[in-house]
Chain A
Amino acid sequence: GAGVSQSPSNKVTEKGKDVELRCDPISGHTALYWYRQSLGQGLEFLIYFQGNSAPDKSGLPSDRFSAERTGGSVSTLTIQRTQQEDSAVYLCASSLVAGEDYNSPLHFGNGTRLTVT
């Protein structure tokens, strides 16, 4: 079946512009995560959605970052007034359910590489 799909795969934008990154999770997965990975670094948690519950936004680095998930499926990560330090690979993942009680592995997309010039 189809895996997690992210678009675009690459995005180059000018400093100060807004960008939208899209994630299509695996059908039936109720949990959706966004992570950021800077060059050669580990994954930085940004935000996660679980079903209809309020999202956990504790990882968002600033109020320029926001995300929404429509209809419990597709998610969009928006970065307003982009800065050069926003340059990174943005990874989306989904799982059947969230939480360590359920042992659901995460399935990742291949990411969107964002370059802010």
Chain B
Amino acid sequence: SQQGEEDPQALSIQEGENATMNCSYKTSINNLQWYRQNSGRGLVHLILIRSNEREKHSGRLRVTLDTSKKSSSLLITASRAADTASYFCASYQAGTALIFGKGTTLSVSS
């Protein structure tokens, strides 16, 4: 089962532009996490935002959380070709298993 659903499924932008990905989830959460996956590799943890936080920054990443709408967004500013990857949101569902969405595939061209 999916706890999070990312939108859009695919995004293509030019270097220097900003990329915004959205995630909606179903059940109440204590925190929500974002991960990145480069082609042929495992996932890498990017950032975690707690349910009592509305916004969090890490370098060029900005994550927002709206618990009333059960949604989160990941913004990558001034994107680079190296940001090309799939991005997943994840949260816990009814227990201690971390459940991932289907991901957004980001393509940044130079």
Contact = CB atoms under 8 A, between A and B. Distances in A.
Interface of A: 4, 31, 33, 35, 41-43, 45, 48, 50, 56, 58-59, 91, 93, 98-101, 103, 105-111
20 contacts: A4-B42, A41-B102, A42-B101, A43-B100, A48-B96, A56-B95, A56-B96, A58-B95, A91-B43, A98-B96, A99-B92, A99-B96, A100-B96, A101-B30, A103-B31, A103-B50, A105-B48, A106-B35, A106-B43, A108-B42
Given A33-B98, A48-B96, A100-B30, A42 B45 contact: no
Choose among B30, B91, B96, B103 the residue with the greatest number of A CB atoms under 10 Å from its CB: B96
A33 B102 contact: no
B97 A56 contact: yes
Contact of B31 (A48, A56, A100, A108): A100
Q: Is the interface of A mostly helix, strand, loop or mixed?
A: loop
Interface string B81-101: 000000010011001111111
A86 B35 CA distance: 24
A35 B97 CA distance: 10
Interface of B: 2, 29-31, 33, 35, 40-45, 48, 50, 88, 91-92, 95-103
B38 to A, nearest CB: 10
A42 B2 contact: yes
